[in-house]
Structure 1
Amino acid sequence: MAEGKKQIHFVLVHGGCHGAWSWYKVASRLRSQGHLVTALDMAAAGVNPKHLQHLNSFSNYYHPLMKFLEALPPDGKVVLVGHSMGGICISAAMEKFPEKIAVAVFVTAFMPSPEFNVQTILKEALTLATMLVRPAKLFHEADWLGEAPLSKQNYCSVPRVYIIADKDNLLKPEFQTWMIENNPTSEVQTISGADHMVMFSRPQELCFCLQDFAEKYCRL
Structure 2
Amino acid sequence: MDSGKEQRRQQHHLVLVHGACHGAWCWYKVATVLSSAGHRVTALDMAACGASPQRTEEVPSFEEYSRPLLDVLAGLPPEEKAILVGHSFGGLSLALAMERNPDKVAVAVFVAAPMPAAGKPMDVVFQQQDSQAKEERPVDVFMDCKMETSSPLQIFMFGPQFMKKNLYQLSPPEDLTLAVAMVRRSRRFQDDAMLTQAVLTAERYGAVKKVCIVAEDDALLSVDIRRQMASWNPGTEVMVLPGADHMPMFSKARELSQLIMEIAHKYT
Same fold at TM > 0.5: yes
TM-score, L = length of structure 1: 0.92
* 1:71-96 deviation digits (Å, cap 9, x = unpaired): 11111211000000000000000001
- State the Cα RMSD in Å: 1.9
Gaps of 5+ in 2: 134-141, 146-157, 164-179
Summarize the alignment of residues 126-205 of structure 1 with structure 2, pairs less than 5 Å apart. Answer: 126=130, 130=158, 132=180, 133-145=183-195, 149-205=199-255
Cα deviations by residue, 1:27-78 (Å, 9 ceiling, x for unpaired):
0000111100000000000000111001111111111111111111111211
Conserved 8 A contact 1:14-1:84? yes
TM-score, normalised by the number of residues in structure 2: 0.76
- Max radius of gyration: which structure? 2
**CA 1:113–1:182 in 2, change beyond 3 Å: closer, same or farther?**
closer
User: How many angstroms apart in 1 are the aligned matches of 2:91 and 2:216?
Assistant: 17
One-letter code aligned to 2:48: A
Question: Is 1:47–2:97 an aligned residue pair?
Answer: no
Q: C-alpha separation between the residues in 1 aligned to 2:211 and 2:108?
A: 6
1:113 to 97, 103, 117: 117
Aligned-pair identity in percent equals: 44
* Residues 9, 79 of structure 1: 8 Å contact kept: yes
Aligned equivalents of 2:188, 2:74: Cα separation in 1: 26
Candidates 33, 38, 43, aligned match of 2:37: 33
1:48 to 1:170, Cα distance in 2 relative to 1, 3 A: same
C-alpha spacing 1:185/1:24, structure 2 compared with 1 (3 Å)? farther
> What is the number of residues matched between the two proteins?
217
In 1, Cα distance between the equivalents of 2:197 and 2:66? 13
